[in-house]
Amino acid sequence: MKIRNMVILFSVIMIAGYLATITTIYATQINRVDVTEINSIVKTIEKDWRDGDTIKSGMFGGMSYQIALFTDENYQALLFDSIKNRQTIMDLTGTAADGQEEFLGKIIILTDGSEEATMKRNLTILISLTFGLVMIMVYLVLGLVHTAILRPFGVLKAFARKIADGDLEFQLPMDRGNYFGAFTESFDLMREELRKARQGEYQANISKKELVAELSHDIKTPVATIKAICELLEIKLATVKSEDLPGSTAATTLTESIEKIAVIDAKADIIDALISNLFHATLEELEMLKVNISEEPSTVIIKMLKEMDNFGKIQFKNDLAECLIFCDPLRLGQVIDNIISNSYKYADTDIDIWFNLDKTEKNLTITIKDYGPGINPDECPLVCEKFFRGSGETVQNTPGSGLGLYLARQFMVAMGGSIRCYNEEGFTVELGIRVV
């Protein structure tokens, strides 16, 4: 039912109740008496009084009466009560000894108040019915407002919150019958357009990142060729230099050529490292750096560390307990390689390694520590953030992109482990690995 129809029905009920109340009030006559009948009663009472019947109260014609003689002590009180109760009062006269008419008192026609009680009852019924109908209409209007306005508005509010949270798959219920039907359809069309736009943006970003990954991979091939040619030229020129060349000018030129080739080789290494970092970062954003966890013996860690001990600086401070661990050997190797490489680049000191197996917590901790300058204490919480590099002079003067420890953290978390970095007489990294 429309609100307009509810208002019209409410107005009709109010007007009908008002008219019924007014009609009842004017149709009810309180203490209404028949004048002819009253006169007949008065004449009969006067006749009986003259005939010697001195009964002061009785009933005649279905009406009760009472005689109040002015000689009675309570005469005035009876008159006041009669006036207060709106009763009919008539004069009572008689014939004196000299034949003249004399005033004896009053005849009071008694009423039981039933007309007034009936009127009050009728008015009470009418008012109660009107008030009840009004209350019913009010509740109906409130229910209609809740159903047709407040509840659809709440649905729209929840829909807006879903859209703000990025949930564009949430479909808005369509109801053309309520007052928000047109808005509902418009909002749902807006959601569809936003969803399509977001899908298009997502696909565009994926395509862009895939293009970057493909280009990074393709660029590595010519860079590898440049490095191979540089190595070949260095070997050949070194062989030629080892021979006795006549003239110092030719020897000097050969030495300069070897130095320039070495510079080209070094720059190629930098380009290769940058491309590798870009490639890994792009793959990580594409979620293509998958982690395949399996149960492996803890001895794989020793093997990884020994393979990376290219400069003989790694020292094991205690033995590694043999156990089974949860890890991806490829990703764990990348993590350890990154940490050891950072120590080589930024510290160039001995690297001490401790192992601690906690059987209660089922956790294997690997502590890797170098004795370099470490990192600014204020920057420790940021070392595992993407593209972050420390502000120290050694770090700034060393090539890097700030992705190594970031990827290490991603891999460790994906394997259910942890990584923690801090300063303690150098730079220390703790790796937590789950034990089977």
Query: pLDDT tens digits, residue range 109-164?
Result: 876 656 667 767 777 887 888 788 778 878 887 777 777 777 777 777 777 777 77
Q: What is the mean pLDDT of residues 171-183?
A: 64
Which H/E stretch holds residue 364?
A: strand 363-369
User: How many whole angstroms separate alpha carbon 259 and alpha carbon 398?
Assistant: 21
Query: How many helices (H) and strands (E) would you count in the chain?
Result: 11, 11
pLDDT at 243 over 60: no
Contact between 296 and 415 under an 8 Å Cβ cutoff? The reply is no
Which H/E stretch holds residue 268?
A: helix 248-285
Question: pTM for the complete prediction?
Answer: 0.44
So what's the pLDDT on residue 50?
74
3-class state of residue 105 by DSSP: strand
Minimum mean pLDDT range among 40-49, 52-61, 305-314, 335-344: 52-61
Contact between 273 and 399 under an 8 Å Cβ cutoff? The reply is yes
So what's the pLDDT on residue 228?
78
Contact between 321 and 297 under an 8 Å Cβ cutoff? The reply is no
Contact between 388 and 366 under an 8 Å Cβ cutoff? The reply is no
Q: What is the mean pLDDT of residues 27-34?
A: 60
Q: What is the mean pLDDT of residues 300-321?
A: 86
pLDDT at 269 over 70: yes
Q: Kindly list the strands in the beta sheet with 351-358, ordered across the sheet, starting from the edge strand earlier in the chain.
A: 314-316, 351-358, 363-369, 427-434, 418-423
User: How many whole angstroms separate alpha carbon 78 and alpha carbon 68?
Assistant: 7
Contact between 368 and 435 under an 8 Å Cβ cutoff? The reply is no
Q: How does DSSP classify residue 376? A: -
Q: Which residues contact 230 (CB under 8 A, 6 or more apart)?
A: 261, 262, 264, 265, 268
pLDDT category, 419, cuts 50, 70, 90?
A: very high
Q: How does DSSP classify residue 66? A: E
Instruction: Give the residue with greater pLDDT, 429 vs 41.
Output: 429
What are the C-alpha distances in Å from 300 to residues 289, 292, 307?
A: 21, 16, 11
